[in-house]
Amino acid sequence: MSYDETLNRIKGARGRAIVLPGTLLGTFMLLFSSGLDAQDVTSPPRTGAAISRRMLVDPSSTTVALGKIRLIVGPLTPKGNIYVGDYQIKVVPYLFKSETGTLKLNVPNGTARKFAEGTEVTFTGKATNNKGGKAKLITGKATPSDKDKGSVTFYVETENGRMTFETSYRFAK
């Protein structure tokens, strides 16, 4: 049943429907009625917009002894309960330490819902190097500033310690 069909069905029922402003995952409705049972109310469909949109992450960098590490994350595409994309780590002046690979961030349903509602969320994932397939643990937090953008911090665990990358993100269709 479509959203419009649901609204028409509710409006046709005995009682008044009040529709609150929409959120990223759908519209919450509050139904006041006399004589309608909870079983008769059909909830609106969830749009899944937060889960179906690609996430674009701005490049970021951090410093290390005598150098700088730049993190470039390609568009992250949702696939089930994960976001997947490519990444590059460029180490200047130690270019031989640079790498490329695949980034996978876990996004359980509850996390996606909180995130879409504008709540800061934490996440985990892994970055797998294309050379040799060695994986690095990724943790982080994302803080929405509105429904389409916000800030994100990636913590990358390496054999030399934790690297922190702070940047921003935005969603694209």
Q: For residues 59 and 42, state if they share a domain.
A: no
If asked whether residues 152 and 67 sit together in one domain, one would say yes
Higher pLDDT, 91 or 24: 91
What is the tally of structural domains in the chain?
2
SS3 46: coil
Considering the domain architecture, whether residues 43 and 123 belong to the same structural domain is answered as no
* 56 shares a domain with 25: no
Co-location of 38 and 89 in the same domain: no
Mean pLDDT of the chain: 75
pLDDT at 108: 82
Residues 65 and 149 in one domain: yes
Confidence at 116, pLDDT banded by 50, 70, 90:
confident
Select the more confidently predicted residue: 114 or 2.
114
**Arithmetic mean of pLDDT, 99-120:** 86
In the listed set 47, 65, 81, which residue is the last one of a domain according to the structure? Answer: 47
137-160 per-residue burial string, b: 16 or more CB within 10 A, e: under 16: ebebebebeebeebebebebeeee
Same domain, 89 and 124: yes
| Nearest to 78, CA basis, from 57, 101, 58, 105 | 105
Pair (100, 87) in one structural domain? yes
The parent domain of residue 26 ranges over 3-47
For 65-139, where are the alpha helices, taking DSSP H only? 109-116
- Which region, left, alpha or beta, applies to residue 66 given φ > 0 means left and ψ of -120 to 50 means alpha? left
CA 67 to the chain's CA centroid: 31
pTM confidence score: 0.67
Considering the domain architecture, whether residues 56 and 33 belong to the same structural domain is answered as no
**Beta strand segments in 77-160, E:** 77-79, 82-92, 99-106, 121-129, 135-146, 149-158
DSSP H or E run through 7: helix 3-12
Q: Domain holding 162: CATH number?
A: 2.40.160
On whether both 33 and 64 belong to a single domain, the answer is: no
Q: Which two tokens stand for residue 37?
A: 């049972």
Check whether residue 93 and residue 164 sit in a common domain: yes
Confidence of residue 10 (pLDDT cuts 50, 70, 90): very low
pLDDT tens track for 37-93? 333 333 333 444 445 789 999 999 999 888 999 999 999 998 888 999 999 999 999
For residues 118 and 161, membership in a common domain is answered with yes
What percent of the chain is predicted at pLDDT more than 90?
48
